[in-house]
Structure 1
């Protein structure tokens, strides 16, 4: 798995990183926004920089290094982040076609988010551990 720091909010699998590199060749620099819908609508959406505008209510979860010159930033709405702040997210890719305008749609693959609860060290690092 590709990693950008010791304690991180989000990571990317090698398979997803490979697809991001391929998509970057075709579309230019990319970014992700973890959408807040249900079912397919809760998938990480991948957009060329400038196609999706983040606002003051979006949280930068982190940046992933997929082996390119630039890091790929991942965002989520602030209200959704309140629900997910105790989880570590991993962007992965599987065969299939997702919904929405994410750039991987025509490839026959779709991004998805896998999550797990943070361990104690991660909770402490992000100031989420209870006393």
Structure 2
């Protein structure tokens, strides 16, 4: 799987959405949802994989006053929307971009649900 296999995002709620997903990310999200139930994303901006979006069972990662809810992703085949959170400090750096959740081969953080699948979520961005 290469970025060329799925370069265009699949729209989520509206064209004005700040977070989109690629076709490959949508497929992985549906698979993870079937295994783990409702999901959530959080992107912290910390070191190592901290700048990659982490996928957790909904409510597993505690958000608070230092986090921003950027989007509630509508993923085809998933009944509920999936919240996408980002730390406020990371948001300040990325606030002028449209984020695109994609999937690439390789292991990311062991805390994100996709880690055992041999792939990891990755953020691509475009200026808005």
Deviation at 1:28, TM superposition (A): 0.6
Question: Unmatched 5+ residue regions in structure 2?
Answer: 1-9
Higher-Rg member (1/2): 1
> May I ask how many residue pairs the two structures share in their alignment?
118
- Kept in 1, the 8 Å contact 2:45–2:89? The answer is no
Name the CA distance, whole Å, in 2 between partners of 1:100 and 1:59: 23
In structure 2, C-alpha distance between the alignment counterparts of 1:79 and 1:42, rounded to whole Å:
11
Q: Which residue of 2 aligns with 1:34?
A: 43
Tell whether 2:103 aligns with 1:93: yes
- Which residue does the alignment assign to 1:105? 115
Match for 2:28 among 19, 34, 40?
Answer: 19
| TM-score normalised by the chain length of structure 2 | 0.87
Deviation at 1:39, TM superposition (A): 4.4
Structure 1: gaps spanning 5 or more residues: 119-131
Distance (Å, rounded) in 2 between the aligned partners of 1:9 and 1:17: 16
The two structures, once aligned, show a CA RMSD in angstroms of 1.1
Evaluate the alpha carbon distance shift between residue 3 and residue 50 of structure 1 in structure 2; reply closer, same or farther with a 3 A threshold. Answer: closer
